[in-house]
Amino acid sequence: MIHADENQLRVPMSTRCGLLPVGAMKTIYLLAIGAIILVAGCVKSRDALQAAGITIVSATYGSGTSFSDVTSRVKDSLRQPNAECFANPKSLETDPSPGWNKTLVIVYEFKWQRHLLAIGEGGKVNVAALLEEARK
């Protein structure tokens, strides 16, 4: 359903935006010439990983046969622009092999290709390092 006034056009968001659930009745307002004044509920901010076109598939941290899944921690750490993720127990909030050197292994996708980056304990990674590794 579309409603028209003298100066603006109102369109239900459920018909205009795939991010809202069916039946959501938030509206966008368009000038008669088509310029958007306000978009309510349809704009989703992009994080640094999305902006770079990177999808983190998995991240594990440990050594030998003792590894911890740190996927969500790595994703959260790298979402902010210029952020870094450090390969150490304090930053990753886990120590699967106390007293042993550990490795952070990140599996990610860039341009529909899967890549792997391994960072030794004490190292760091950021979005630029993932992009550099993917372009090799």
Mean pLDDT, 10 residues at a time, over the chain (136 residues)?
44 42 39 37 64 95 96 94 93 95 96 95 95 92
How far, in whole angstroms, is CA 30 from its chain's centroid? 30
**Do residues 26 and 60 share a domain?**
no
User: What pLDDT sits at residue 55?
Assistant: 95
| Number of structural domains in the chain | 2
How far, in whole angstroms, is CA 76 from its chain's centroid? 8
**Do residues 60 and 102 share a domain?**
yes
**Structural tokens at position 53:** 């076109």
Which residues constitute the domain of residue 67?
48-134
Q: Where are the alpha helices (DSSP H) in the chain?
A: 48-52, 71-78, 89-92, 127-134
How far, in whole angstroms, is CA 40 from its chain's centroid? 22
Nearest to 80 by CA among 104, 105, 52: 52
**Do residues 80 and 130 share a domain?**
yes
User: What pLDDT sits at residue 47?
Assistant: 87
**Do residues 89 and 110 share a domain?**
yes
User: What pLDDT sits at residue 101?
Assistant: 95
pTM: 0.66
**Do residues 18 and 54 share a domain?**
no
